[in-house]
Amino acid sequence: MPCDSCGYSKTVANIEREIDGKNVCVELCERCLLEGSPRDDNWLRDILARKERGDRKARSDVCPNCEMTEDEIGSENRPGCSTCYEFFESVIEKLVGESQQGEKKHKGKKPGQSV
Amino acid sequence: MEKLIDSHRLYYKGEEDPVVNSCRVRLARNLSEHYFVSRMGIDQRRDLLKSVSETILAKMGGDFRLLTRDNTKVEERRLLEELNLIPEKFFDPDGYRGIIIGGGAVSILINEEDHIRIQAFCSGKALSELYRMALKMDELTEGVLGKVAFSKRWGYLTACLTNVGTGLRASVMVHLPALSLTKQIPKLTNACRALGYTIRGPHGEGSDLAGNLYQLSNQRTLGLSEEEIINGVIHMADRMGGFEGDCRRQLLGAMREVMEDKVFRALGVVNSARMISSGEAAGLLSAIRLGLEWKFFDGAPKVPINELLDNIKPTHLSRLYGEKIGGRDAAQRRDVLRARYLRESLKDIKTALSN
């Protein structure tokens, strides 16, 4: 089950609580668990409400396409998909600068171009 | 399969050169609607291998075939590895990787680090021609495979940031016995690195420098056009060839007797030894190559030295002598066959010197 707060697929905890007379179970990924207030019923209510509305707050450090995290890209110098290049532009820019001796822009051919 | 391997081994013959052994060009490409390979699950890799290979083969036809783990034997895979057509572990189980090969200079790896890697090899010097061949293959595959992962800013999007941009790695294998002997390789390596090129032992990063062979390649793939990269590597290889040539002449001038001794000892070992390890063989072939260059010898090897270097590898030897080599004494048996093979292949080489 994905994280109820942000939708990230790797969850680490589920919190069972009685809220408003109902037994609920909230799945959380590591980041949402650490940054949130899992003991606070109001916080949990807010997550469940947003989930109901289809309004999850996606993490800004997780690629919406392949779920690669910013940390993973940094540690391996490897984006997970084409979307990562756009989604993590500033991280990519820094890492490319390091790998490519400061170069920042493509100067070669494009697809569909006959050279 | 055997025919495929043999015709590949005759691969494209570039211009013979006293320093440049062989050349290689590699283009990395990915498809935009799939995760990069390391992120793909087994099912996705299997499906991609099937769809990409079928699409490409339908367009190419002719002698091209897809080789995978499933349709090759262990020995065949090792031969492909020994020819540097595939990296180690390429055909590990569950990798769902394949190589499309057709007996010419160009082949295509599927699901290696990138979805597609187009590679071209030649013996001797022909880097520009290799690039043109790889480019033709790139245009062909791009035409049939659909959307290539590309952005205006970053160029061709690759699985590893060290390849982004052109996705082009151009390499030249150079023979530098004089620079090695005079211990100038570290200085050369630093100078190259400052200019944006790397020099490595023959099998990439961190490998042995056996046989005085080194691989020179471009470091950057971004911020330069493909032509700039190719011309840059050619130019660097020419300069390196110049340094090596000067150094060889100096050695011949200042240390002639030492060089003669080195070269003739090598020939002596090849003619007489009954067991030669692969490390020793590489060194002997380097010295003999130098002797041929310097015209200390008359006659020629039965087979070009580049091919000898491949033929003395374990699976090649097994195949040449029709022997399945295994068990506890395998290494020793290979050393025996290697010695025999070298003796046979170099037996027409005789001294040209009067002393």
ipTM: 0.87
Q: What is the pLDDT of residue B189?
A: 93
Asked if A10 reaches chain B (Cβ–Cβ under 8 Å), the answer is no
**CA separation, residue B314 to residues B70, B181, B328 (Å):** 22, 28, 15
Å between A84 CA and nearest CA of chain B: 10
Which strand (E) or helix (H) includes residue B280? helix B278-293
Pair B266, B284: CB distance under 8 Å: yes
Give the whole-angstrom CA distance, residue B227 versus residue B243: 24
State whether residue A9 sits within 8 Å of chain B by CB. Answer: no
* Per-residue pLDDT at B5: 63
Percent of chain A with pLDDT over 70: 98
Q: Do B165 and A86 touch (CB under 8 A)?
A: no
What's residue B214's pLDDT?
93
pLDDT of res. A77:
87
Q: Which helix (H) or strand (E) holds B228?
A: helix B226-254
What is the per-residue pLDDT for B203?
60
For the residues A40-47, what does the mean pLDDT come to?
90
pLDDT of B206: 45
The C-alpha of B51 sits at a distance from chain A's nearest C-alpha, in angstroms, of 19
pTM score, two decimals?
0.91
Residues of chain B with pLDDT under 50: 206-207, 209
Residues of chain B contacting A101 with CB distance shorter than 8 Å: 196, 219-220
- Inter-chain CB proximity A85 and B160 less than 8 Å: no
Q: How many CB atoms lie within 10 A of CB B101?
A: 24
Confidence class of residue A115 from pLDDT cuts 50, 70 and 90?
low
**3 state DSSP class of B148:** strand
- A residues 31-60 lying closer than 8 A (beta carbon) to B: none
Question: Pick from B151, B157, B223: which is nearest to A107 by CB?
Answer: B223
> Are B212 and B142 contacting, i.e. CB atoms less than 8 angstroms apart?
no
Q: Which residues contact B64 (CB under 8 A, 6 or more apart)?
A: B56, B57, B100, B101, B102
SS3 B27: strand
d(CA B293, CA B303): 16
Cβ contact, residue pair B224, A107, below 8 Å: yes
> Which chain A residues are Cβ-neighbours of B155 within 8 angstroms?
106, 108
B197 touches chain A (CB under 8 A): no
pLDDT in tens, B117-172: 999 999 899 999 999 999 999 999 998 998 999 999 999 999 999 999 999 999 99
